[in-house]
């Protein structure tokens, strides 16, 4: 059952939670891992994105999996650390900070990834049953439609709807905000989906 959140966090702790989340979220695992692997700057490959999907375009599946794991777990770590030291309100703010840090990384001149993995990582930390729902919806949509972007968008929009419907308002509001940002970050993918030119899962070229 969702736990009520009092929102009595002091301003200084709220800022600390946001900053902690942002700094963890801003770690560009895709860029770091590909450089250590001798593959150069991932931003010069494919879509130029630092996420796991673009890392996969290098042909290195293990590196892509490691990027996915790193981008997710930094969101989980931010939530769990802030929640442990400062409580549930701080955990929510740290989750927001981690997501924004991934998308607008200070180390990449405030550019970054599209946020799906970090969204999932924050979700694992704040409401792990909803993370299972996200995964099931993603798999189902991806299997039927063969579009990774569509699967991520549908899953990310469904999560806040369920959270709000079950009365978990603070988390529902957080993930509604994150879903809106995800949609904006996927605007190019959405245009390609509408135009029938989006690449399907497993499609080459």
39 and 94 together in one domain: yes
Q: pLDDT tens digits for 113-137? A: 999 999 999 999 999 999 999 999 9
In a domain? residue 119 = no
Q: Looking at the structure, do residues 131 and 106 belong to the same domain, yes or no? A: no
Answer yes or no: do 106 and 180 share one domain. no
Whether residue 151 sits in one domain with residue 65? no
* Whether residue 65 sits in one domain with residue 16: yes
CA–CA distance, 200 with 147 (Å, rounded to integer): 5
Whether 101 and 24 have beta carbons less than 8 Å apart is answered as: yes
Does a structural domain hold residue 80?
A: yes
Of all residues in the chain, the percent with pLDDT exceeding 90 is: 79
Residue 64 included in any domain: yes
CB 186 within 8 A of CB 153: yes
Task: Find the domain containing 21 and state its range.
Answer: 10-110
Average pLDDT over residues 165-192: 96
pLDDT the model gives residue 158: 98
pTM over 0.85, yes/no: yes
103 and 35 together in one domain: yes
Whether residue 102 is found in the same domain as residue 147: no
pLDDT tens for 24-78 read 999 999 999 999 988 888 888 877 788 888 888 888 899 999 999 999 999 999 9
Mean pLDDT of the chain: 92
Asked if residue 163 belongs to a domain, the reply is yes
Q: What is the Cα 183 distance to its own chain's centre? A: 12
Q: Do 70 and 132 belong to one domain?
A: no
Burial of 166 (0-12, 13-18, 19+ CB in 10 A): middle
Q: Name, in order, each residue with C-beta under 8 angstroms of 203's C-beta and a sequence gap of 6 or more.
A: 146
Q: 3-state SS of 118-131? A: HHHHHHHHHCHHHH
DSSP letter at 203 equals: -
Is residue 138 located within the same domain as residue 204? yes
CA pair distance 142, 139, nearest whole angstrom: 5
Residue 76 lies in a domain: yes
**29 and 95 part of one domain:** yes
Q: Domains in the chain: how many in total?
A: 2
- Is residue 122 situated within a structural domain? no
Cα-based distances in Å from 105 to 22, 33, 199: 8, 16, 27
Residue 201 has pLDDT above 50, yes or no: yes
CA distance 95 to 80: 9
Same domain? 160 vs 90: no
Q: Which of 110, 145, 176 is the last residue of a domain?
A: 110
Q: Is residue 16 located within the same domain as residue 85?
A: yes
CA dist 154 and 7 (Å) reads 29
């Amino acid at each position: 059952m969702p736990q009520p959140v009092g929102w009595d966090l002091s301003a200084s702790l709220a800022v600390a939670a946001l900053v902690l989340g942002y700094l963890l979220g801003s770690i560009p695992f895709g860029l770091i891992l590909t450089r250590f692997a001798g593959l150069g700057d991932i931003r010069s490959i494919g879509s130029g994105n630092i996420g796991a999907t673009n890392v996969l375009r290098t042909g290195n599946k293990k590196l892509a999996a490691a990027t996915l794991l790193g981008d997710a777990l930094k969101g989980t770590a931010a939530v769990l650390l802030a929640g442990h030291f400062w409580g549930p309100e701080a955990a929510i703010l740290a989750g927001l900070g981690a997501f924004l840090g991934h998308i607008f990384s200070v180390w990449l001149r405030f550019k970054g990834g599209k946020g799906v993995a970090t969204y999932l990582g924050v979700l694992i930390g704040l409401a792990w049953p909803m993370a299972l729902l996200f995964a099931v919806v993603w798999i189902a949509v991806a299997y039927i439609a063969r579009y990774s972007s569509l699967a991520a968008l549908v899953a990310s929009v469904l999560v806040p709807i369920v959270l709000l419907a079950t009365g978990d308002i603070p988390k529902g509001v957080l993930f509604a905000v994150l879903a809106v940002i995800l949609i904006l970050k996927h605007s190019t993918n959405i245009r390609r989906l509408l135009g029938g030119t989006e690449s399907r899962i497993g499609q080459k070229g």
